Amino acid sequence: MYCLTLLGMIGALLLSGCASKIPAIIHTPPPGDIRVDEVQQDHSRFVDSAIRWGGDIISVENFADETHIEILAQKLNKSGKPLSDSRSSGRFIARIKGFLEPEDYPKEQKITVTGEIREVVEKPVGRYPYPYPLVDVDAYYLWPLEMSYPRPYYYDPFYSPYYDPFYYPYRRRHPYYYW
């Protein structure tokens, strides 16, 4: 009896340790799949529409009572994380109330936001006037940086034409020293 209770508690602790820290609102997409380029073309149709967009941070700009994060939009996977290998569907600005430290939101880090489309503002990208959908953010999630490690070198001890006992002259692997 006590053993079953103990096993149940250990199982519950293990499962709770695997629980995600990502907000539930980021996991669940709103109804309708509105893309950034659709809003850029006909913004009046999408005002006050709920969205879940994400991508790479381009820049962070603080104002008196809000912060604007310029984001290069990318497709999202099922959990809401931007896909690295997907093509961009445009740029948008996420408006967040309060101050955010720009150093905590570095360039090219992935972020996902949910909120409502308010308007389309025009800002230059180089010399081109670019239409940015402006999103009032309800929730956001800054994805941790992914570390890429080099593939470990696999040394197959059985593959070598020089180690074959039937290969003449028989050579041993490096570094065997003889006295």
Q: What is the CATH number of the domain that holds 132?
A: 2.40.50.140
Q: Would you say residue 10 lies in a domain?
A: no
What is the arithmetic mean of pLDDT over 137-153? 82
Is residue 22 scored above 90 in pLDDT?
no
Query: What total of structural domains would you count in the chain?
Result: 1
Q: Would you say residue 70 lies in a domain?
A: yes
| Pairwise CA distance, residues 20 & 43, whole Å | 34
The string of pLDDT tens digits covering residues 29-64 is: 888 888 998 999 988 898 989 999 999 999 999 999
Say whether the peptide bond before residue 106 is cis (omega within 30 degrees of 0).
no
Q: According to the model, what pLDDT value does residue 158 have?
A: 58
The H-assigned helical ranges of 18-118 are 24-27, 36-41
Range of the domain at 137: 23-142
Rounded to 5 degrees, what angle do the CA atoms 99, 59, 49 make?
75
Is residue 166 scored above 90 in pLDDT?
no
